[in-house]
C-alpha cells in the first residue's frame, strides 16, 4: 500500500469494520490480493473480533442467575 | 414505535414491574457479556446485572425510546463494571470459569480443531483473552467491549462515553492492537 505505516494499520481496522469508502476499499482489496503480510494481519484481527463475540454466548449458572433476578425484583418492588 | 420493548418502557414509567421483566429479558445477556468481559468474574457480573437494571428502573422516566434504553443500559453496565474493578484496589480476584461457553462456541475459538491438544489450547486462549482485556486501560477496555463484544456503533459509543468518534476509533484500534500482540501465540 502506498500509505505510511500508521495509515496502513488504520486502514486494516476500517476494512475489517466495513468502513472504507468504495474507492478506498477497492485499493485495499488490490493490496490485499498482492500482500501476504497484509492478509495475515487482516485474518488475525478478524479472529480476535470473532473471538470477542463469544462473550455474548456465555452461560451463567442458572441457580445463581435465578437468585440475582429474584433479588432484583425485590429491590425494584421496594421502589414502586 | 409499538414494539414489545417500547410498550414495556411506557408501562414501566407507570410503575409496572411486570413490564420491567421484558426489559430485563431483552438486555440481560448483553449486560452479562459486558460485565464478564470486563471483570472475568461471575459473582461480580451478576452484581453488575442487578445494579444496572435497578438503576434503569429508577431512571426510566428519563428514557425516551428503545435506542435510549440500550445506550443507558450499556453505559451503566460498562461504567459499573469498571467501578468494581477499580474498587478492588489491587486485590487479586481470580478470573473464574463458572460462566461457561457452550461446546459449539468453544469449537469456534481460534483454529485449533485439528490439533491433538486443542482443548488445552482453547482453555488457555480463553484465559489469555480475559487477562488481556482486563489489563487494558479503562477507556480502551470500555470501547473494545462496547464495540466488539456488544456491537454498539462508534457513534453510539461516542454518545455513551461523551467523546468524539475519532477518539472512539483510536481507542478501539489501540485496544485491538494490544490484544493482537498479547494473543499472538494463539492466533
Query: What is this model's ipTM?
Result: 0.86
Scanning B62-101 for CB atoms below 8 A from A yields 98-101
Size of interface A-B (CB pairs under 8 A): 104
Asked if B50 and A51 come within 8 Å (Cβ–Cβ), the reply is no
The count of domains in chain B is 2
Domain check: are B107 and B83 in the same one?
no
For residues B91 and B108, membership in a common domain is answered with: no
Distance CA(A11)–CA(A7), nearest Å, equals 6
Q: Are B138 and B128 in contact, with CB atoms under 8 Å apart?
A: no
Let me know whether B47 and B130 are in one domain. Answer: no
One DSSP character per residue, chain B reads --SHHHHHHHHHHTT-HHHHHHHHHHHHHHHHHHHHHHH--HHHHHHHHHHHHHHHHHTGGG--SHHHHHHHHHHHHHHHHHHHHHHTTT---PPP--SB--HHHHHHSTT-TTSTTHHHHHHHHHHHHHHHHHTS-HHHHHHHIIIIIS---HHHHHHHHTS-HHHHHHHHHHHHHHHHHHTTTT-
Under DSSP, the state recorded for A66 is: H
Distance from CA of B64 to the nearest CA of A (A): 20
Same domain, B2 and B93: yes
Tens digits of residue pLDDT in A36-60: 999 999 999 999 999 898 888 888 8
Residues on A contacting B at a C-beta cutoff of 8 Å: 9-10, 13, 44-45, 47-61, 64-65, 68-69, 71-73, 75-77, 79-80
Above pLDDT 90, what percent of chain B?
55
**Coil, helix or strand for A2?**
coil
Residues B91 and B1 in one domain: yes
User: What percentage of chain B reaches a pLDDT higher than 70?
Assistant: 82
- The model's confidence at residue B107, banded by pLDDT at 50, 70 and 90, is low
Q: Which of B79, B97, B115 is the last residue of a domain?
A: B97
pLDDT tens column, B83-105:
998 887 666 556 666 666 665 55
User: Is residue B58 less than 8 Å (CB to CB) from chain A?
Assistant: yes
Verify that B6 and B69 share a domain, yes or no. yes
Query: Where in the sequence is the domain holding B186, given as residue range(s)?
Result: 100-187
Segment B123-140, tens digit of pLDDT: 788 889 988 998 999 999
Chain A hits for B46, CB-CB cut-off 8 Å, are 60, 64-65, 68
CB contact under 8 A, A75 and B54: yes
Residues of A in contact with B21 (CB under 8 A): 73
- Average pLDDT of span B45-74: 93
Nearest to B54 among A58, A60, A72 (CB): A72
Q: What is the pLDDT of residue A2?
A: 46
Residues B146 and B172 in one domain: yes
Banded pLDDT at B1 (limits 50, 70, 90): very low
> Do residue B83 and residue B71 come from a single domain?
yes
Q: Which of A45, A53, A57 lies at the smallest CB-CB distance from B102?
A: A57
Amino acid at each position: 500500500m502506498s500509505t505510511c505505516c500508521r495509515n496502513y494499520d488504520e486502514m486494516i481496522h476500517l476494512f475489517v469494520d466495513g468502513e472504507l469508502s468504495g474507492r478506498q476499499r477497492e485499493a485495499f482489496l488490490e493490496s490485499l490480493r498482492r500482500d501476504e503480510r497484509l492478509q495475515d494481519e487482516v485474518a488475525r484481527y478478524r479472529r480476535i473480533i470473532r473471538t470477542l463475540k463469544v462473550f455474548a454466548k456465555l452461560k451463567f449458572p442458572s441457580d445463581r442467575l435465578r437468585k440475582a433476578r429474584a433479588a432484583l425484583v425485590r429491590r425494584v418492588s421496594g421502589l414502586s | 414505535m409499538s414494539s414489545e420493548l417500547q410498550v414495556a418502557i411506557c408501562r414501566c414509567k407507570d410503575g409496572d414491574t411486570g413490564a420491567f421483566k421484558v426489559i430485563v429479558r431483552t438486555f440481560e445477556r448483553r449486560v452479562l457479556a459486558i460485565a464478564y468481559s470486563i471483570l472475568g468474574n461471575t459473582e461480580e457480573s451478576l452484581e453488575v446485572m442487578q445494579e444496572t437494571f435497578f438503576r434503569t428502573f429508577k431512571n426510566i422516566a428519563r428514557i425516551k425510546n428503545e435506542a435510549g434504553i440500550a445506550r443507558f443500559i450499556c453505559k451503566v453496565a460498562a461504567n459499573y463494571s469498571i467501578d468494581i474493578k477499580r474498587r478492588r484496589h489491587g486485590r487479586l480476584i481470580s478470573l473464574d470459569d463458572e460462566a461457561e461457553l457452550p461446546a459449539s462456541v468453544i469449537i469456534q475459538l481460534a483454529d485449533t480443531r485439528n490439533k491433538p491438544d486443542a482443548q488445552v489450547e482453547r482453555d488457555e486462549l480463553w484465559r489469555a483473552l480475559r487477562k488481556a482485556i482486563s489489563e487494558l486501560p479503562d477507556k480502551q477496555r470500555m470501547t473494545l467491549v462496547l464495540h466488539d463484544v456488544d456491537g454498539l456503533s462508534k457513534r453510539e459509543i461516542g454518545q455513551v462515553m461523551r467523546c468524539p468518534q475519532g477518539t472512539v476509533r483510536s481507542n478501539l484500534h489501540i485496544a485491538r492492537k494490544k490484544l493482537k500482540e498479547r494473543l499472538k501465540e494463539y492466533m
